[in-house]
Amino acid sequence: MADRTSWSWTRGRVLAAVAMLVAGLLAFPGVVPNTVGNLGSLLETFLPWGGLAVPVLMLPALLRRSATAMVSLVLPTAVWAGLFGERLLPADRGTAHDLTVLQHNVNDENPDPEGTARALAQAGADLIALEELTPDALPAYEAVLTSGHPYHTVVGTVGLWSKHPLADSRPVDIRPVEVGGDWSRGLRSTVRTPSGDVAVYVAHLPSVRIRLPDGFGTGWRDESAAALGAAIAAEDLDRIILLGDFNSTLDDRGLAPVTSRMTPAEEGFDFSWPATFPLARIDHVMTRTATPVTTWALPATGSDHLPIAARIKL
């Protein structure tokens, strides 16, 4: 009979195999196809949480005193640290920059739009991009934000407030083909900054849902991302700042039409949704021919998202 009180190299081979599988999925999530329920995008959306598999596997490895399983956990730990370890470092907000921008989905059911607007106004941002603006709540945001950000434009449910003059503001069509009704969630404006003109885009991509038997429903979101990517590719100005709620993390292949053309702000673990217990960063700041030097989450407002701030060097 095997001695269960001593460590063994023969026990725990299944645990070791699972650890190898976890390491492989962390390192190469693209091997999981989207052909069935968009499982690849679902994995990529919550990829940083894959590291929790290590302590989960460690417990039975310890109980079984499996040396094989314990040693195998080094690989997923190393892969996770290589991918996400740098995010544990605190944001350096003292880095030289030209603009501070703020992105916030304010929630169309926000019970305190005036309080939310006050919190955003006090953040010290040069540009404030908002999504899920409603006709009833819009006057509250205009009343509070306009004193410090006298230039603003609103298209449908998205808006941009700026300390610097705006020009050539117009809608950006990111509506999926099957979406009807009064649906307008994209805008573009030229911001006349002291360092020159910058094209600023604000976008709110369609929501995603997990439903049986369809799985992770990303079709409209992906279609909207493709339209946004095409608009960015056609932009005449070299410098672009993109702000928005993309209902996706940067690891999700569904955002490739956008992320392949832009430089995202390094995000750390300042997740933005849901505000009560943030699980993912789905609110983003990206640039072209400009450098996002730092980004961080702000305290909760009346929204189900956290505001996201970033500093940008032009």
Report pLDDT digits (tens) over 187-228: 999 999 999 999 999 999 999 887 766 678 899 999 999 999
In whole angstroms, give the CA distance from residue 295 to residue 282: 13
Measure the CA–CA gap between 275 and 300, rounded to whole angstroms: 6
Region for 155 from its dihedrals, namely left if φ exceeds 0, alpha if ψ lies in -120 to 50, beta otherwise: beta
Q: Look at residue 281 and tell me whether its pLDDT is greater than 80.
A: yes
Higher-pLDDT residue of 281, 37: 281
Rounded percentage of the chain residues whose pLDDT exceeds 70 = 96
Task: Inform me whether the pLDDT recorded for 38 exceeds 90.
Answer: no
Question: Angle of helix 113-121 relative to helix 138-145, nearest 10 degrees?
Answer: 30
Instruction: Measure the CA–CA gap between 90 and 163, rounded to whole angstroms.
Output: 28
Residue 287 tokens read as 């640039």
Check pLDDT > 70 for residue 91: no
**DSSP for the chain, written as a single string:** ---TTS-BSSS-HHHHHHHHHHHHHHH-GGGS-STTTTHHHHHHHTGGGGGGHHHHHHHHHHHHTBHHHHHHTHHHHHHHHHHHGGGGSPP-TTS--SEEEEEEE--TT-S-HHHHHHHHHTT--SEEEEES--TTTHHHHHHHHTTT--EEEEETTEEEEESS-EEEEEE-----TT--SS---EEEEEEEETTEEEEEEEEEPPP-EEETTTEEE-HHHHHHHHHHHHHHHT-SSS-EEEEEE-SS-TT-GGGHHHHTTSEEPP-TT---BSTTS--B--EEEEEESSEEEEEEEPPP-SSSS--EEEEEE-
74-84 and 53-64 helices cross at what angle (nearest 10)? 160
Query: What average pLDDT is seen over the chain?
Result: 93
DSSP one-letter string for 276-297: TS--B--EEEEEESSEEEEEEE
Per the model's pLDDT, the better-predicted residue between 198 and 8 turns out to be: 198
pTM equals 0.90
Q: Give 74's pLDDT tier (boundaries 50, 70, 90).
A: very high
pLDDT, residue 157, reads 98
pLDDT-derived band at 95 (thresholds 50, 70, 90) equals: confident
Strands 240-245 and 196-204, sheet pairing: parallel
Residue 94 has pLDDT above 70, yes or no: no
User: Given a cut of 60, is residue 1 above it in pLDDT?
Assistant: no
Q: Is the pLDDT confidence value at 32 over 60?
A: yes
At residue 92, the pLDDT reads 66
Reading the block at residue 36, the tokens are: 């069935």
Give the span between the Cα atoms of 128 and 283, in whole angstroms. 13
Q: Do residues 104 and 308 make contact, with C-beta atoms less than 8 angstroms apart?
A: yes
Say if residues 310 and 100 touch (Cβ distance below 8 Å): yes
Digit-coded pLDDT (tens) for 227-277: 999 999 999 999 999 999 999 999 999 999 999 999 999 877 889 999 999
Query: CB of 153 within 8 A of CB of 129?
Result: no
Spatial CB neighbours of 74, under 8 Å, sequence gap ≥ 6: none
Predicted pLDDT at 245: 98
pLDDT at 106 over 80: yes
Q: If you search the block for the tokens 């020009």, which residue do you land on?
A: 167
Which of 66-75, 206-215, 273-282 has the lowest average pLDDT?
206-215
Domains of the chain: 13-88 (no CATH), 99-313 (3.60.10.10)
Q: Is the pLDDT of residue 2 over 60?
A: no
Lowest mean pLDDT among 84-98, 131-145, 201-215: 84-98
Position 65, amino acid: R
Task: For residues 258 and 250, give the distance between their C-alpha atoms in angstroms, rounded to a whole number.
Answer: 10
